[in-house]
């Protein structure tokens, strides 16, 4: 019996994602000027207002309101009618110093590799060979819809001139009993828009443009994957702005908070999630760093051929460097003659999962986090870029070359193949 599976995504203009992006921009600013900064920043956005709170230990001093306003402007909230606008919104900061009771378990004066985990908890990594980036297909399509919509809004606005920053997508795929995608069943897309006619006229126009402009551009992104292109069919159910009108949106339409889109950030409901959010947290917080490291493990295992689908779990105690456990689930699809427990033992020997080792291996003590805060932390393209930071507290621009999305590298495939005799 076939079944349906659904994943969703949200745009960079969604209020929760606005909050995530501000939190990560603050983190990047601190790390740019002090790589040893300890940061846990939370953001709330609502009508005309940004509220920042959290704990920071850093030698850097940054212009917090300016960082927040730059993020809001980049996203596209630049008009007063949005009732949340970069230059005019209020910015309230209630950031204070990190608790010494937490810091004492993280900082190690003798051996840096004994750095303890910043908190307890469990983290998961997942990978599947459904797509070229080893991500679940429904989520990959959901992200693609909104990335393309944002590109149209920013660079080709003449195609859909009514677009505003807030948007959500959702894709439902039918699978057979073996987990093979059969067809796309439903696409849901809601986009904030200008008011330009009656409710029915607006809904009809946006639906027409989504089907005739957006969908063909999405299909072109998968032009080398006939197995994915074949899933698009004439019987797809489209729900476009199903309420009929979406003029009021963004932080004016719905309060946004850091860390409320953790399933969008990871695997769209496939695999598992430990519950910890990512944005605004420096890499001593294993909620973030160990989740990245677990994804790195799962992706390299799948790419090496250990199994077409893999889930990895790791867990920690606060202040303790060595993880409590490393768990691997191959969903009964393993290509090696080992139990999942035996596979986990090999993984433990290949990947040092102590927090400081993860930081070093994945180069996490760098300002690399703003790019993660919208359209997913996983499945992205690893690349090197030069970033420029300008601050009124520093006379010269700071230029740093950094590597983005290092946890997406397939740099352990050969070692995995050797370890498993593949």
pLDDT at 98: 66
What pLDDT, on the 0 to 100 scale, is given for residue 105?
Answer: 54
204 marked among binding-site residues: no
Annotated binding-site residue? 296: no
Average pLDDT, the chain: 95
Residue 167 is assigned to a ligand binding site: yes
Per-residue pLDDT tens digits for 18-48: 999 999 999 999 999 999 999 999 999 999 9
Q: What span, in angstroms and rounded, lies between the C-alpha atoms of 410 and 397?
A: 33
- pLDDT tier for residue 74 given thresholds of 50, 70 and 90: very high
pLDDT digits (tens, 9 = 90+) for 204-213: 999 999 999 9
In this predicted structure, what is the pLDDT of residue 114? Answer: 81
Express each pLDDT in 232-283 by its tens digit: 999 999 999 999 999 999 999 999 999 999 999 999 999 999 999 999 999 9
Report pLDDT for 113: 83
pTM: 0.95
Mean pLDDT of the 181-185 span: 97
Q: Give CA–CA dist 89/78, Å, rounded.
A: 10
Binding residue per annotation — 361?
no
- Residue for token pair 């009993």: 177
69 is annotated as contributing to ligand binding: no
- Domains with residue ranges and CATH for the chain: 3-9+136-249 (3.30.300.10), 121-128+284-419 (3.30.300.10)
Please provide the DSSP assignment of 237-252 as one string.
EEEESTTS---S-HHH
CA separation (Å) from 372 to 262, 378, 408?
12, 8, 12
How far apart (Å, rounded) are the C-alpha atoms in residues 139 and 264? 8
**Residue 87 annotated as part of some ligand binding site:** no
Question: Is 138 one of the annotated binding-site residues?
Answer: no
Find tokens 């969903």 and name the residue. Answer: 331
3 state SS of 229: helix
Contacts of 103 (CB under 8 A, 6+ apart): 38, 57
Distances (CA, A) of 419 to 26, 213, 243, 300, 361: 41, 48, 54, 12, 19
- pLDDT recorded at residue 99: 58
Residue 409 in marked binding region: no
Instruction: Quickly count: other Cβ atoms within 10 Å of residue 59's Cβ.
Output: 10
Annotated binding residue 79: no
Please state, in angstroms and rounded to a whole number, the distance separating the CA atoms of residues 129 and 310: 10
166 is in an annotated binding site: yes
Binding residue per annotation — 14?
yes
Token readout for 282 is 């420096």
pLDDT recorded at residue 394: 83
- Residue 254 marked ligand-binding: yes
DSSP one-letter string for 63-88: -HHHHHHHHHHHHT---GGGT--TTT
Is 57 marked as a binding-site residue? no
3-state SS assignment for residue 38: strand
For residue 129, what is the enclosing H or E element?
none
Straight-line distance from the first to the last Cα atom of the chain, in angstroms, rounded to the nearest whole number: 34
pLDDT digits (tens, 9 = 90+) for 93-106: 999 876 555 555 56
Determine whether the annotation assigns residue 185 to a binding site. Answer: no
Is 55 annotated in some ligand binding site?
yes
User: What are the structure tokens assigned to 342, written together?
Assistant: 């035996």
The percentage of the chain sitting over the pLDDT mark of 70, rounded to a whole number, equals 97
| pLDDT > 90 fraction of the chain, expressed in percent and rounded | 92
Residue 110: band (very low, low, confident or very high) from pLDDT cuts 50, 70, 90: low
Q: Is 193 annotated as a binding residue?
A: no
Give the three-state DSSP class for 192: strand
């Amino acid at each position: 019996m076939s079944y349906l599976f659904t994943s969703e995504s949200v745009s960079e203009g969604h209020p929760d994602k606005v909050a995530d992006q501000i939190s990560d921009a603050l983190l990047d600013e601190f790390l740019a000027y002090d790589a040893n900064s300890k940061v846990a920043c939370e953001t709330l956005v609502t009508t005309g207002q940004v509220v920042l709170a959290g704990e920071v230990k850093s030698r850097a001093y940054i212009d917090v309101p300016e960082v927040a306003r730059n993020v809001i402007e980049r996203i596209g909230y630049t008009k007063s009618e949005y009732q949340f606008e970069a230059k005019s919104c209020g910015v309230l900061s209630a950031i204070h110093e990190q608790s010494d009771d937490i810091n004492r378990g993280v900082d190690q004066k003798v051996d840096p590799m004994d750095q303890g985990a910043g908190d307890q908890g469990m983290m998961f990594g997942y990978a599947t060979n459904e797509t070229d980036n080893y991500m679940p297909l429904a989520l990959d399509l959901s992200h693609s819809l909104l990335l393309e919509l944002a590109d149209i809004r920013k660079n080709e606005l003449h195609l859909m001139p009514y677009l505003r920053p807030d948007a959500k997508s959702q894709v439902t795929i039918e699978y057979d009993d073996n987990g093979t995608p059969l067809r796309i069943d439903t696409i849901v897309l809601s986009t904030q828009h200008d008011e330009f006619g009656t409710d029915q006229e607006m809904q009809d126009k946006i639906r027409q443009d989504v089907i005739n402009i957006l969908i063909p551009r999405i299909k072109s992104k998968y032009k080398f994957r006939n197995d994915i292109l074949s899933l698009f069919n004439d019987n797809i159910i489209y729900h476009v702005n199903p309420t009929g009108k979406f003029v009021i949106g963004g932080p004016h339409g719905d309060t946004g908070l850091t860390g409320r889109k953790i399933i969008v950030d990871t695997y769209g409901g496939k695999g598992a999630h430990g519950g910890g959010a990512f944005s605004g947290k420096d890499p001593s917080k294993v909620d973030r760093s160990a989740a990245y490291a677990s994804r790195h493990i799962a992706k390299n295992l799948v790419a090496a051929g250990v199994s077409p689908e893999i889930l990895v779990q790791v867990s920690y105690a606060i202040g303790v460097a060595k993880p409590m456990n490393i768990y691997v689930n191959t969903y009964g699809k393993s290509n090696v003659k080992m139990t999942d427990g035996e596979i986990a033992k090999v993984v433990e020997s290949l990947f040092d999962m102590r927090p400081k080792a993860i930081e070093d291996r994945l180069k996490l003590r760098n300002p690399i986090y703003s790019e993660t805060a919208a359209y997913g932390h996983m499945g992205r393209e690893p690349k090197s870029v030069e970033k420029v930071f300008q601050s009124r507290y520093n006379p010269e621009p700071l230029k740093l070359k950094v590597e983005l999305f290092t946890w997406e590298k397939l740099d352990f495939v050969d070692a995995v193949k050797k370890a498993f005799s593949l």
